[in-house]
Structure 1
Amino acid sequence: MPNLNIYLVEGFSQEQKARLMRRVTDVVAQCLAAPLPSIRIFLIELPKAHICVGGEILAAQDSCGLTGGPTVHAFLIAGRSDAQKEAMIAGLTEVIEETLGIPAEPVRVMFFDIANTDFGMKGLTAKSLGR
């Protein structure tokens, strides 16, 4: 089930974005033992004018070196261990650093645990599918 939304400021190449999504998929599969077909990555690019950090719009502060992320929202069926989440935070941050050349400091990873009764596939709840 893992669904990840990656919010990213505009300006990265198609190659960088494709590599980022492939490597994020690998991290999720490794950390959560999730089968590849169950992992969904959604890359959401935002114009600098649509990101505000500390009250400053990025488009107005380009010369100051502010960066608005990336931020990753990971939606998971509840029940993952703290160790799995810690490993995933570290792995996702490392992939972002290496792939996009962004330091770890502005990277944010947030988990949203979804009850197996609150997630559905194929018209059924995850619970009814044995998840």
Structure 2
Amino acid sequence: MANYVSICRSNYFKVQDEKRFIRWCAFWGLDHWTDTPDGLEGTFHAIANENGDGWPSSHPETGDDIDFEAELQQQLLPETVAILVSADHEGLRFVGGHACALHADGRSEYISLRSIQDKARDVFGPDITITEAIF
């Protein structure tokens, strides 16, 4: 039996307080880097978690469940949106992924790779046979 693995990264986005954000990333054990994308001004930040555990879901000291997306939204400047992308697998038994877009005002939008099945049914019709990419 294979282990479930989830690797994650974000786009580049702006934050309210850069020093606080860098400390926040260290607290959650996230990889962090900065860049100034072409045509834009200022410092943009990106985060990742390549240890296979996905985005944090529990407090590292207490073990309590946390809402990581809400935690990140508190860091954002309202003129940018953070996109969190995850690719997941359990060997070749299951392969998946999802993404969410987060805004500082608390709004969010989600998609998953599994949604391609619904999209395919919309495009090719309800009588088409579509199986899942799992076994």
TM-score computed with the length of structure 2 as normaliser: 0.35
Larger RCO (CA within 8 A; separation ≥ 6): 1
| Higher normalized helix content (fraction of residues) | 1
TM-score computed with the length of structure 1 as normaliser: 0.36
Is the radius of gyration larger for structure 1 or structure 2? 2
